Amino acid sequence: MRQGDGSDLLGANDPRSASIGIIYVAPTDDRSSVLEAIFMQDKLGRKQIAVVLPENNRAFQRSVDFDGMKNLRRGLKSEIIFIAPGVPGPAEFARQRRFSVYTSLESYTTALRSEPSDNANAKKGLVLFGRKPRPTGSTSRVEEPNGKGSAQPLPVSPLPVPVPVDSSDKAPAPNPTLPPDDATSPSSSPNGNVSHVDNGTDAAGNGSAKPVYTQREAEPIIFAPPLPRPRTTAKLAAASAAGAGAATTIPKRSGNTGKRAAVGVGAAAAGAGAALAATGSAPAAGGGPPPTRGNAGGPGGGGGGSSRSGSRQLLAILLVILTLLLLAGIAFASPMGQNVVSHIFTGSTQVNATVTITPDSQTVADSFVITAVTGTPNPSARQVQARIPSYTSPSQSASANATGSIPGTRATGLLTFANIGNGVTVSGGTLTGADGVQIAFGSVYIPFGAVTVSGTAVNAGVSGNIPALDINGPCCGSSNIHVRNNNSFSGGQNAQPNSVISQNDINAASNKLIASLKPSAQTALQQQVTANEQVVDNSLNCTSNVNANHRAGDQAKSVSVTGTVTCTEEVFDRQAAFTIATTALSAEAGKTPGAGYVLQGKVATNVTHATVIDARHTVSLVVSAQGLWVYQFSSQLQQQLKDTIAQKSKSAALTYLKAVTGVSSVDITLSSGDTLPDATHISIVIKTITGGNGTPTVTPGSPSPAITPTSTPLITPSTGLGGS
């Protein structure tokens, strides 16, 4: 939409340019934006506002759009003129509602240029910036006795109003006076007005663009000028009779709600006043002859002069009374006057109206991808700050018992075999000593004579340490072979459980230490997170630095570890992310639903996803945002609505309000009747739309993963010892 002034048409040097406003409506402009432009031009003091409509436009396509404009112009000081293509549709709707319509800016400019910048055309009824012309079409005249001049009629209803009808080849008057707003068709009005439409030709048949006159049919009230002296009683009687006749022939039309009746009373009173003014006294009842001139007072002739003086005084009093009656008749003919009369005679109270409007509301929701960086963020690129806080606990110690054992050993010794027979090979076997200990030996060849071999106790332990000659007797199923241990066996040891440090023992001590340090470390880490920050899920990481006093495989009953725990996690500026999402959502709401809608409450935001995406700890955030936008009715707009629906029927007011932008539903409550009162007795209640105030709960921390020691010493078990 573009706006300009009369300089677009007349040039900057024409003094009328500042009094003309021009609104160039674009095809995509809505009606509310055009209305705002009209209000702005009206505030600038424009005499005329030309609304230039394209052939296809959103703002004014339906007849109801122009009904709203017809009601709107009551509260404007400017006159609205439409420039619309001469095709069925907007142009015809505008003409039907008594708007001035031109088919093009050229025809409108031609009409403006054909009118001089002064008021020289006032006599032609074609004045743009002067007073509205008074038509001279009345035929009611009263001749003065001297034949000079004529009494001008006093209209009792709005003056005839010229309304130009645009034609494709003739430019009408640029600034006609608008007709009453209750006109509903080109040919008639609710008040009984008759619209005379010029067909574009004059009396001689020449083509010309002439205004259309709409004039009420009520007879004008005529004041006869005061006469210097009545000359003949016959003329006075005729005048009196004429006044009486006028009182009996007051026109009365249906659908005029009593206006013409009240005006007719004033007209009759005025006619009677004219007759009395002509006679100088009140006529006798029954139409008797008027008083004659002469010396009716007796000798001396004084009575005639006193009669004339008294008649003049009576005439002046009657004129004052009749004037007051006339003004009262006109006042009571108005809607407000009829309302007062109705209240007086019916005893009804003042009607009050309450208009309850439910404003239109729309929920706007979307999700936005926002990046959290550990470097310097760029808000215009939808970046917010991220950082990695860290905390290291004080050094502490923990211990664990040894779970490794020293295994038992078997005793060993020498066995001597003596053979007194032939040599023989024995595959080995087990020998049992005197104390029941079993000694095993391997395969052996026993020649004639003696041979010594090793023997080993079958069971580990000190029990295998048999004394000398514990084994002494025949062997191997032959009486020729004898065996004995000449010396004791040795080396047998019992097993020693829980006496060796294993790696599991060291890990157990380290985990015990970490478990005691982790809660305090995590608590201290959380204290570093500010109120506007949020922890990235699963970003908590804790490591330990532990030293043990034994290695795996050492013989000891317990192991002790000493160390610290260091915890880190990544956080991002959650509030900054919410601000970016709210701003982005508000920008979307500025387009849909658009101007006039205001956020109700706050935008509800929530981080639905946060993932570290690279080695620089960049975090990708998905932030959802949702808000409720409600159409706002300013106090100025509410007053305009009151002014528009005032004095309308309830059904008409509902029809109009339902078509107003931003109205979802409307209800009207009247204290009585079915007609709305004046604007001062209309109250508008805008319903409150709830919603949009919730803020999702956000958990600032994240679950703690298991802590794995990273510097636990790994010790290889000693040779010959147990462990794991």
Give 208's contacts (C-beta < 8 A, 6+ positions apart).
170, 200, 201, 202
Higher pLDDT, residue 57 or 119: 57
Higher pLDDT, residue 198 or 417: 417
Whether residue 260 is predicted with pLDDT greater than 60 in this model: the reply is no
The gap from C-alpha 245 to its chain's centroid, in whole angstroms, comes to 67
Report yes or no: 383 and 370 within 8 Å, Cβ to Cβ.
yes
Supply 605's token pair.
């935001």
Spatial distance between the Cα atoms of 444 and 475, rounded to a whole number of angstroms: 12
307, containing H or E segment: helix 302-333
Give 338's contacts (C-beta < 8 A, 6+ positions apart).
257, 258, 259, 332
Residue range 515-524, pLDDT digits in tens: 999 999 999 9
Spatial distance between the Cα atoms of 297 and 295, rounded to a whole number of angstroms: 5
* Residue 87, pLDDT score: 67
Q: How many residues does the chain have?
A: 724
Cα–Cα distance list, 327 to 11, 338, 441, 454, 519 (Å): 47, 14, 153, 154, 95
Whether residue 466 is predicted with pLDDT greater than 80 in this model: the reply is yes
Beta strands of 526-615 (E only): which ranges? 533-535, 541-548, 558-568, 571-573, 597-612
- Greatest mean pLDDT among 72-81, 111-120, 277-286 lies in 72-81
Whether residue 186 is predicted with pLDDT greater than 60 in this model: the reply is no
* Residue 635, pLDDT score: 94
* Residue 267, pLDDT score: 41
* Residue 417, pLDDT score: 93
Whether residue 244 is predicted with pLDDT greater than 90 in this model: the reply is no
Spatial distance between the Cα atoms of 84 and 90, rounded to a whole number of angstroms: 7
Spatial distance between the Cα atoms of 429 and 441, rounded to a whole number of angstroms: 6
- φ/ψ of residue 110, rounded to 5: -60, -40
Give exposure, 528-540, as e/b (b: 16+ Cβ within 10 Å): ebeebbbbbbebb
Whether residue 425 is predicted with pLDDT greater than 70 in this model: the reply is yes
Question: At residue 529, what is the residue type?
Answer: V
Residue range 82-119, pLDDT digits in tens: 999 876 788 888 888 889 999 999 999 998 888 765 44
The arithmetic mean of pLDDT across residues 449-471, rounded, is 93
Whether residue 134 is predicted with pLDDT greater than 80 in this model: the reply is no
User: Collapsing DSSP states into helix, strand and coil, what is residue 663?
Assistant: strand
Residue range 652-678, pLDDT digits in tens: 999 999 999 999 999 999 999 999 999
Q: Model confidence at 336, in pLDDT bands (50, 70, 90)?
A: low
Report yes or no: 529 and 485 within 8 Å, Cβ to Cβ.
no
- φ/ψ of residue 82, rounded to 5: -105, 135
Report yes or no: 176 and 121 within 8 Å, Cβ to Cβ.
no
* Residue 698, pLDDT score: 44
Q: Model confidence at 333, in pLDDT bands (50, 70, 90)?
A: low
Residue range 396-410, pLDDT digits in tens: 999 999 888 888 999
Mean of per-residue pLDDT scores for the chain: 75
The arithmetic mean of pLDDT across residues 142-160, rounded, is 37
Residue range 9-32, pLDDT digits in tens: 888 889 899 999 999 999 989 888
Residue range 343-367, pLDDT digits in tens: 555 455 899 999 999 999 999 999 9
Q: Environment class of residue 651 by beta-carbon count within 10 Å: exposed (0-12), middle (13-18) or buried (19+)? A: exposed
Whether residue 263 is predicted with pLDDT greater than 50 in this model: the reply is no
Q: Model confidence at 334, in pLDDT bands (50, 70, 90)?
A: low
Please give the model's pTM, rounded to 2 decimal places: 0.42
The arithmetic mean of pLDDT across residues 276-299, rounded, is 41
Whether residue 162 is predicted with pLDDT greater than 80 in this model: the reply is no
Whether residue 48 is predicted with pLDDT greater than 70 in this model: the reply is yes
Cα–Cα distance list, 516 to 329, 542, 640 (Å): 102, 13, 73
Query: Residue 158, by phi and psi: left (phi above 0), alpha (psi -120 to 50) or beta?
Result: beta
